Structures are given as structure tokens and as C-alpha cells.
Amino acid sequence: MRKEKDSLGELEIPKDAYYGIQSFRAFKNFQISGTKIHPELIKSYLLLKKAAAIANQKINSLDEKIAHVIVQAVDDLLEIDFKKFPDKYFIIDAYQAGAGTSQNMNANEVIANRANEILGHKLGTYLSVNPNDHVNMSQSTNDSYPTVMRLSTLNLSHSLITELKKLSDVFNQKTLEFDDVIKAGRTHLQDAVPMRLGQEFSAYKITIDQLGELILHAQSALRILGIGGSAIGSGINVQKNYKNFMILELRKFFQDEHLTLSQNMFATTQSQLPLMIYSNALRATALELTRILNDLRLLSSGPSTGFNEINLPPTQPGSSIMPGKVNPSILEMGNQVFFKVIGNDNAMAMAMQAGQLELNVMMPVMAQLALESTQIMTEALKTIRELCISNITANVEQCLEYAGKTSQIATAISPIVGYARAAEITKKALKEKRSVLDLIKEEKILTEDQFKQLLDLRKMTEVN
């Protein structure tokens, strides 16, 4: 063990720990969930501290030697897999003190200790590099945490957009594959006019494209950063030109030329609207995807007593007691993930409105929610695409049988015989459990040419 001291007193800390006394106090105070900080947030914090060291050196606020060793320390830390070595570095629970001060100091202490180690000093001595005076120079938790929160969410969201694009491509493939499969449409869960299975899947593809665009739009709000605003947005203790150098370094490190400084730094500490906009986009995505998955579960239901219009690839036995049963397991997983995303958005809403005056202190939970939702949705979409959607097949004969049976085929002849007469034919077909097509033929309601022209199921499904 080693001893460290802060304004509250002295504590013993594990000798090989790269964190310091403030991190350790937070670790002791908040043993809440066992959920650690998302690796993307840690990576973003390290990159922010690297950018700050370079910016402070360029404005001559930080000694060149200290700036250099901070940069070297960050580069070393970025090579570490923190999932394998959590106890020595980043130890804060996801549910922690407000604003993210614990997380900011955890980053400051880890970087400072590694920098001092590079210079030949023992961990915890801070002889050359101090967590507050050097690593945290020109920063406050109140401008660094919201910046890191936005950048880490933005970074993680790129993979989500990629997965939505891949899912859209698969639905497009199925649209083409199922273009000749005639089936019955359904509205209100009741028989409607015929359509093609490919048309049904084309609607799913377009919806997924729209969801991707929605998230792309939400990304733009995350690119507006308040770094340099310091404690409340006024930029206290921040030297001139610091924030301009910061945004240049952040654009480089995060490979995003569209990152920009907020026009009002007070707003970026008071309001976390960008996270809410992004979370709302995830919520809308989760709701629409849930609807689509539910459709697929309905279309595959049965197989003997349900729709049985499509076949989902079997992935595992569906029952511990019923032999041979296969369930839509992948889609059920997707539903559960999307329900969680929707719940996270509700929690985000509560956190977003809970800020008071110059700061929203609920940022740690907001970051956790945004990153968790993004990650689980991304992974769920990948699994759904690879293990389910890609290998869906159509039960062509079953689809065609339903198309021929739907009583709403009578809709096609209403311009000839009138709505009332078409309704009578529909009612009679249902009562006698007969095909509308057979009834029309038998009663010679249409001429042969009219029958061929109006009741060709392929022509009936053509889009005008």
C-alpha cells in the first residue's frame, strides 16, 4: 500500500494502482452496480486530455516537457485493454457523483501517475506532473465531461449506422427475392387486398433507411462542443486561444472535421439537449424495429396453426418439454433489447430535465444510457441480420393460397359492379367459406375478359 493525501485527509491506496486518492474515495463511496465506465468514454477522455496538453503547450501555459510526457502517457494508456486490467486504472462505478467529477479525476490521476512513472518517479508521488495543475489545466469537469460524453456517443454511433445500412441491404435483397410471391395483405389483422411479399419487405427496407437518416441527423447535435467553457461556461482560468487549439486537436484525434465549438458555452453546461435528441432517435428506431420484428414473428407463426408465410432459420430448440418446437429466438432477443433502449430513453428524459441553473449534474447516467443503448442496439442488429433476416425463406404456396382466399379480392371488381354488390359477394363468400374468385366465376358476375383483366393477382399487385 501507499499513502496519499487530499483536502479531506489521508488514505492508503494499493501500491501498484495508477488511480489516486480522489478516484479511490469515489470507488469506496459508489459501489452501486458493478457496471464500469464504458470503454469508449474512457478512450474519449484520454484523447481529450491529450488534446488539452497540446493546446496548453501551444498557448505557452504548459511546459513543453510536461506536455510531451502527458501525451506519451496517454498514448501508452490507449494501448491497454482496460477490460483485462480494471483494478489498476479506471475503477469508478457507472452510477457515481453528479457531473462526472469522479470520472474526470480518475482520468487525471491515471494519466499523471503514468507520466510520473515515465519520468522515473514512484506512483502516487506526483513530483513532476500533477493531476489537477497539469493534466486538468484549462479544464473543469463541467466542460470536459459533456464534451467527452458527446464525443464518445458520436464515435459509437457510427457502428450503429453501419449496421442499419447492412440491415437495409439485406431487406433489399429479400425484396427482390420475394418479388414474385403473391400473398394476402392485412389491415387491422384482417384480410385485405393481395400484395407481394417483396413489397412488404420493401417497406421494411425504406423504414430502416429513414431510421439511419434520423440518427445521422441526431449526430450533428453531438458535434457541438463546449470545451473551454470551464466551470459554468464563462471560461474562467482558460487562456485566450486555448479552445481554438482544442477544437483543432479534437477534430484530428476523433477524425471528424465537423466538430465545432458552441456559440454559447453557458448553454453546453446548462443543457444536454443533444444527448436527448440522440436518445429520442434511438427510441424511434427501437419502436419501429420492434414493429418490424413483431411482423416477422406473425408471418412465421405456426407453422401448422399460424400464418406460416415465411420460414425463419432455426437457431436453437424452442422448448424444454415440447420436442421439435422451434421459436423465433433471435427476434425475441431483438424485442427485449429494443424495450431496454426505450426504457433508457425514459431515464434519459428524467435526467435531461433534472439540471438546475448553470449545470446538469446528471451527466454520468446520461452517458451510460446513451452508450449502453447504442452498443446493445448495434450488436442486436448484427445478430438479427446474420442469424435471421439473411436466411428467411418464403412459403410460396401458402402465400398464394391465402391470396386466393382473401375476400377483399372483391375490392377489384367494385368499380364494375358497385360497392354494395361487391360487399354482398364478400359476405356470401365468407358465409359459405368459399373463394371469392370461385363465386365470381360461378355466378358469372364478370365477363371472361373482365375476369382476366381485373382478377389477375400479379396485375392486381402492380403499383400504379
- Does residue 233 contact residue 267 with C-beta atoms inside 8 Å? yes
Cis upstream peptide for 323 (omega within 30°): no
User: Whole-angstrom Cα distance, residue 206 to residue 326?
Assistant: 30
**Is-catalytic flag, 301?**
no
> Is 260 in a helix, a strand, or coil?
strand
Please compute Rg for the chain using Cα positions: 30
Considering the candidates 301, 319, 390, 435, report the single residue annotated as catalytic. Answer: 319
User: Whole-angstrom Cα distance, residue 315 to residue 111?
Assistant: 46
- Does residue 366 contact residue 153 with C-beta atoms inside 8 Å? no
User: Whole-angstrom Cα distance, residue 74 to residue 114?
Assistant: 8
Q: At what angle do helices 273-299 and 197-222 cross, to 10 degrees?
A: 170
- Does residue 56 contact residue 49 with C-beta atoms inside 8 Å? no
What letter represents residue 16's amino acid? D
- Does residue 139 contact residue 63 with C-beta atoms inside 8 Å? no
At 287, list the grid cell: 419502436
Phi-psi region of 188 (alpha: psi -120 to 50; beta: other; left: phi over 0): left
Catalytic sites, residue numbers: 319
